[in-house]
Amino acid sequence: MNSERSSGLAAVGALARAGEVLADHQYRLWADWFERRTGVHIQEHRLPFVRRVLAQRLGEVGLDGERYLAALAGSGEGEWRYLADQLLIQETRFFRHRESHSLVRRVVARHAIERAGADLHLWSVGCATGEEAYSLAIDALAGFAAAGSAPDFAVIGSDISGAALGRARRGSYPLDALSAADRAALGALLEPAGAGHFRFTDSVRERVAFVADNVLDQRHGFFTAGVDIIFCQNLLIYFRRWRRQQALNFLARRLRRGGYLIVGPGDCADWRPGHLERVDAPGVLAFRRPLEGEVEAGD
Ligand SMILES: C[S@@+](CC[C@H](N)C(=O)[O-])C[C@H]1O[C@@H](n2cnc3c(N)ncnc32)[C@H](O)[C@@H]1O
C-alpha cells in the first residue's frame, strides 16, 4: 500500500473504530461514486471481492464507513486512485484479438502507400499494463515494412490506473507473455530484462508513450491533431450500455478523417454512429471516418 496516500485518511481515523464494513446504503453510495468516476459498473458476481477489499481498507485506514465516505467526498483523490488500482480488472495480453491486429497492419500499410510522409497516430485506450500498446507498435512496424516504407508513427497508451501505467512504462514482461511463434518472429525486437523477462528494443519503445487518462474525460488533450487508429477493447464491457455509447461518441470525435476506431467484437455491437462507416473485416468490429468528399454513412 502507498503509505503517503493512506496517511491522510489514517490520521483522520486515528480515533475511529477499525475493521468495519460498509453498511448496504453506504456501499450503494460508494458504488455510485465509483461508477461516476470510472464508468465501471460493479457487477453482482464481483460484489464479494469488492466488499472484501473495502472492509480491509477501512481496517487499514482505521475509519468507520461514515467517516471513510466523508473523507472520500472531501479530498479523496489519492484514495480514489488507490481504489481504481485495486478494483479495476487489468487482464490483458499481447495481440489479444488477432483479427483486429491484422486489420491495423493492413490499415498502416495502406496509409504508408497512400499518404506517404504523413505521420500516423495510434491510441490504445485502456491499455492496462502496456501489452496492447506495444502490440500496436509492432503492427505499425509490420505495416510500414510491408509497404516498403520507413516507419513514421507514434503510439499512446492511456489508462486510469497509475499502477498499471507504471508497469507499462517499465515495459518488462515474462517471456511466456509472448507465444512461442511471436517470440520467434519478434526475436530481433526483444532484449533480456532480468531473469525470464524481456523488453522491447528502443526501436519499439521510443515509439510508445503512456499517459494517465480517463476515457470519460472528453478532452484527451494529448492528441491535438486527431488520431488515425483508436483501439479500445475490453474496457467498455464494464460500462452500462448508455455510457459505452457515450464513451464511443467521445472517441469517434477524436478520429482524423480516414481514421479507424477498432473496438472489441462484443464490446458494443449495437452502436450505430451515423457519421462513420462500418469496416468490412470478418470477426472485427471497426468503424472508419470517411475522407472529405467520400459519402458519409447515414447521409
Ligand atoms: C480489462 S483491461 C483491458 C486491457 C486491454 N485494452 C486489452 O484489451 O487487453 C481494462 C483496462 O481499462 C482501464 N479502465 C477502466 N476504466 C477506465 C476509464 N474510465 N478510463 C480509462 N481506463 C479505464 C482499467 O484500468 C484496465 O487497465
Pocket of ligand 1 (CB under 6 A): 38-40, 88-93, 96, 126-128, 132, 159-161, 164, 214-216, 233-235
Residue of the CA atom closest to atom 27 of ligand 1 = 128
The Å distance, Cα 249 to ligand 1 centre, comes to 17
pLDDT digits (tens, 9 = 90+) for 28-64: 999 999 999 999 999 989 999 999 999 999 999 999 9
Q: What angle do CA 279, 111, 95 make, to 5 degrees?
A: 65
The Å distance, Cα 128 to ligand 1 centre, comes to 5
Rounded to whole angstroms, the Cα distance separating 223 from 254 reads 8
In the predicted model, is pLDDT for residue 16 greater than 50? no
Structural domains of the chain, ranges and CATH numbers in brackets: 3-87 (no CATH), 98-288 (3.40.50.150)
Query: Which pLDDT value is given to residue 296?
Result: 55
Rounded to whole angstroms, the Cα distance separating 208 from 156 reads 6
Query: Which pLDDT value is given to residue 117?
Result: 85
Query: Which pLDDT value is given to residue 140?
Result: 98
Which atom of ligand 1 is found nearest the CA of 97?
8
Question: What are the grid coordinates assigned to 205, written together?
Answer: 519503445
Of 217 and 176, more confident: 176
Residues in the chain: 299
In the predicted model, is pLDDT for residue 99 greater than 70? yes
| Residue 7 pLDDT grade (very low, low, confident, very high; cuts 50, 70, 90) | very low
Element (H, E) at 197: strand 197-200
Q: What angle do CA 79, 130, 54 make, to 5 degrees?
A: 25
Average of pLDDT values for 281-295?
92
The Å distance, Cα 234 to ligand 1 centre, comes to 7
Rounded to whole angstroms, the Cα distance separating 28 from 217 reads 24
Rounded to whole angstroms, the Cα distance separating 124 from 120 reads 13
In the predicted model, is pLDDT for residue 19 greater than 80? no
